[in-house]
Amino acid sequence: MYFVLLGYFLFQIYTYLSSQKDIIKGCVEGKTEAQGGLFKEYSKMLFGVCIRYTKDRSAAEDILHEGFIKIFKNIASYKGKGSFEGWMRRIMVNTALERYRKKFQMYPISEMDLDSKMNTNVIVSELSAQELLLLIKELPPAYKMVFNLYAIDGYSHKEIGEMLNISVGTSKSNLSRARKILQTKVNQHFIMPEERKRC
């Protein structure tokens, strides 16, 4: 039974990778049906990336469409090294950042008051994905950007600094403040009433 399941699983992976390669090849050749297939296959997943960097669906949809235009335009540069999904996610994140930079100017803030004891994982573990997404959306834009890039998309503070043109210290400080805001919101909305009375 184990070998039957393993064989089926490997066949599914092979089929998926083969169809992915065909879609990528078709997109490189500019075939409309391949581009439609790529959009259909990945738009839902990538929309989830876009919505985290915006406050509303309309802006997220704009980023998604702009990001897909960039994907189609640059897909020939994807050489098959590393995850294709990861390559597309990076394009979507960069598209969101470009929009953010046009709208907001990042200003350095004090690097004091960094709370290294407050762990993002503690915040995340208290919430469902949907609840966390709603709370992140309420963060001030600079804090939301850094929190998404660091805690969810896994960029380092050095990378974030380069992407947003801020210092590593400012990135750390913005992350710390974002965590504190989220922790406060968690305490306000998700603690049991009895515990709230004790506070």
- pLDDT at position 152, please? 87
Q: Where does 120-198 sit in CATH, by number? A: 1.10.10.10
What pLDDT was estimated at residue 73? 95
Can you tell me the distance from the alpha carbon of 75 to that of 31, in angstroms, rounded to the nearest whole number?
Answer: 12
pLDDT of residue 128: 63
pLDDT at 43: 93
pLDDT value, residue 184? 86
Confidence at residue 189, expressed as pLDDT on a 0 to 100 scale: 66
Backbone angles phi, psi at 61, to 5 degrees: -65, -40
Predicted local confidence at residue 42, as pLDDT:
93
The predicted pLDDT at position 82 comes to: 85
Per-residue model confidence (pLDDT) at position 108: 41
pLDDT tens sequence across 52-96: 888 788 999 999 999 999 999 999 999 888 889 999 999 999 999
- CB-CB contact of 160 with 173 (8 Å): no
pLDDT of residue 198: 53
For residue 82, what are its two tokens? 């590393």
* pTM, to two decimals: 0.66
| Predicted pLDDT at 65 | 95
Domains 2-103 and 120-198 fall in the same CATH topology: no
Q: What region, left, alpha or beta, does residue 193 occupy, with left being phi > 0 and alpha being psi -120 to 50 degrees?
A: alpha
Low-confidence ranges of the chain (pLDDT < 70): 1-18, 103-129, 189-199
Task: Say which residues have a Cβ less than 8 Å from residue 188's Cβ, sequence separation at least 6.
Answer: none
* Level-2 CATH architecture, domain 2-103: Orthogonal Bundle (1.10)
Query: Over the Cα atoms of the chain, what is R_g?
Result: 20
Domain extents in the chain:
2-103, 120-198
Q: Give the pLDDT confidence score for residue 21 in this predicted structure.
A: 85
Question: Would you state the pLDDT for residue 155?
Answer: 92
Question: What is the model's pLDDT at position 6?
Answer: 47
